[in-house]
């Protein structure tokens, strides 16, 4: 046997990356699309000369394409640095718009001219006063939960957490009760990042709008994976992050309906409808639009196969590890997302052992880096702290080969045996 043949025969198998819910590789098409705007058409889109006009046209073409793939209008799109900024802008911006209205009404009343402008505002149901309350589901991403907490800490907003059931579905009856009491904003994620459950967002929006409460939707895990229709949902704002569907990190968008009062968090030259000042990243916007369009086309072709692959992985894992439990909704979940609890071991220990075996997974939200507490989503679903710390998430954007599924199941079992988990031999 030759040296080349020996090397090939003994080479370790390629690592399996199963953490696309955290991030995935940048699409080759996105890289190629953005390059000309880094090296050739690099003008500032706010400039009036030819280079600036070229950049501005590319920016608006990207905005139109991006909007079309999310069921939005081009004017709805505010380009940002990603999901966290978008969530912050939506939640803080909508709440601060209410604070501005309250201050204006107070100042007008103090000046003795209160009736005209106040009456005008109250005539528009979108601008009526709300109590300073933010409704969020108990399983929201930290970008949502921490933004709401910031409003509590600095402006006295009450943060009301709406419970979920054992599969992480939002309790719509509880949401309706709280919405009827009034609120500045309700926040609902479209799909859960930790357990993959797809939430009843359409019903939640109808309930909240029926009570006059605007709705922010975190679609970070959904965009490019399941169909998203911003205008069809009638949501008021929606957050999207590019690195979940093949765009470079640091790119995202907030969709904002023109009817929605919202204040900017960044002051400056007034770009992006005055909501996100700063020179626009034209290359990034182009990459974001191309990556989303490619992801949506792939979704249409592969969604059924991806869900079948997920289900095959679930079956293989449960056969290899009978003590494992699936978390989240077993049916109404993201197609490339499978999550489990493995009693008798911590998720951190298991993922480290799996990583050594070439299986790259997650034990929770990647945005909770450095933390070792139990995942809040699983606690909200009713799991104990010990159970919640035994969670592992597998996420992928392309169907898995049968051989890879067998390899994953075998590696899981081997890891649990190596970690001396009771009942696994």
Catalytic residues: 367
Q: For the residues of 185-219, what is the DSSP string, one character each?
A: EEEEESB-TTT-BBP-HHHHHHHHHHTT--EEEE-
- Helix 114-123 × helix 83-111 angle, to 10°: 140
Q: Which residues contact 231 (CB under 8 A, 6 or more apart)?
A: 71, 72, 73, 76
Question: How far apart, in whole angstroms, are the C-alpha atoms of residue 76 and residue 236?
Answer: 10
Question: How far apart, in whole angstroms, are the C-alpha atoms of residue 79 and residue 63?
Answer: 8
Cβ neighbours of 209 (radius 10 Å): 17
**Contact status, residue 236 vs residue 209, Cβ threshold 8 Å:** no
241: which strand partners?
Answer: 252
CA within 13 Å, CB half, 212:
14
**In 203-268, where do the E strands start and end?**
215-218, 237-241, 252-256
Nearest to 237 by CA among 214, 220, 221: 214
Nearest to 167 by CA among 138, 132, 209: 138
Q: Residue 165 carries which DSSP code? A: -
Q: Which residue has the tokens 């109808």?
A: 206
**Order of strands, sheet of 77-80, starting from the edge strand that comes earlier in the sequence:** 77-80, 252-256, 237-241, 215-218, 185-189, 133-137, 158-162
Question: How far apart, in whole angstroms, are the C-alpha atoms of residue 404 and residue 410?
Answer: 10
Q: Which residues contact 232 (CB under 8 A, 6 or more apart)?
A: 71
95: its two tokens: 């709440």
Identify the helix (H) or strand (E) that includes residue 133: strand 133-137
Measure the N-to-C terminal CA separation of the chain; round to a whole number of Å. Answer: 37
């Amino acid at each position: 046997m030759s040296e080349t043949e020996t090397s090939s025969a003994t080479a370790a198998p390629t690592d399996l990356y199963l953490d696309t819910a955290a991030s995935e590789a940048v699409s080759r098409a996105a890289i190629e699309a953005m390059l000309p705007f880094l090296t050739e058409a690099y003008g500032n889109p706010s400039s009036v000369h030819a280079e600036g006009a070229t950049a501005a046209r590319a920016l608006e073409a990207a905005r139109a394409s991006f909007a079309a793939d999310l069921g939005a209008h081009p004017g709805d799109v505010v380009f940002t640095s990603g999901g966290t900024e978008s969530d912050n802008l939506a939640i803080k911006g909508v709440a601060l718009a209410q604070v501005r209205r309250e201050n204006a009404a107070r100042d007008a009343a103090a000046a003795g001219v209160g009736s005209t402008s106040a009456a005008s505002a109250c005539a528009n149901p979108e601008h009526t006063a709300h109590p300073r309350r933010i409704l969020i589901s108990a399983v929201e991403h930290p970008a949502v939960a921490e933004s709401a907490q910031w409003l509590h800490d600095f402006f006295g907003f009450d943060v009301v957490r709406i419970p979920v059931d054992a599969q992480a579905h939002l309790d719509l009856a509880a949401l309706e009760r709280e919405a009827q009491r009034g609120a500045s904003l309700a926040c609902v994620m479209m799909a859960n990042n930790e357990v993959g459950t797809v939430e009843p967002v359409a019903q939640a929006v109808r309930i909240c709008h029926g009570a006059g409460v605007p709705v922010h939707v975190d679609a970070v895990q959904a965009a490019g994976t399941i169909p998203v229709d911003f205008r069809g949902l009638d949501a008021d704002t929606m957050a999207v992050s590019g690195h979940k569907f093949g765009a470079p990190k640091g790119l995202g968008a907030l969709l904002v309906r023109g009817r929605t009062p919202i204040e900017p968090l960044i002051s400056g030259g007034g770009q992006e409808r005055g909501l996100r000042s700063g020179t626009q990243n034209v290359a990034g916007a182009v990459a974001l639009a191309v990556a989303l369009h490619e992801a949506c086309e792939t979704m249409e072709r592969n969604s059924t196969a991806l869900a079948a692959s997920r289900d095959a992985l679930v079956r293989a894992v449960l056969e290899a590890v009978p003590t494992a439990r699936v978390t989240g909704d077993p049916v109404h979940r993201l197609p490339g997302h499978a999550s489990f609890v493995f009693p008798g071991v911590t998720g951190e220990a298991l993922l480290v052992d799996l990583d050594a075996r070439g299986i790259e997974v997650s034990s929770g939200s990647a945005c909770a880096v450095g933390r070792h507490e139990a995942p809040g989503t699983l606690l909200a679903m009713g799991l104990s702290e010990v159970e919640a710390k035994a969670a592992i998430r597998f996420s992928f954007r392309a169907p898995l080969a049968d051989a890879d599924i067998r390899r994953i199941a075998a590696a899981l079992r081997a890891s649990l045996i190596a970690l001396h988990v009771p009942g696994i031999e």
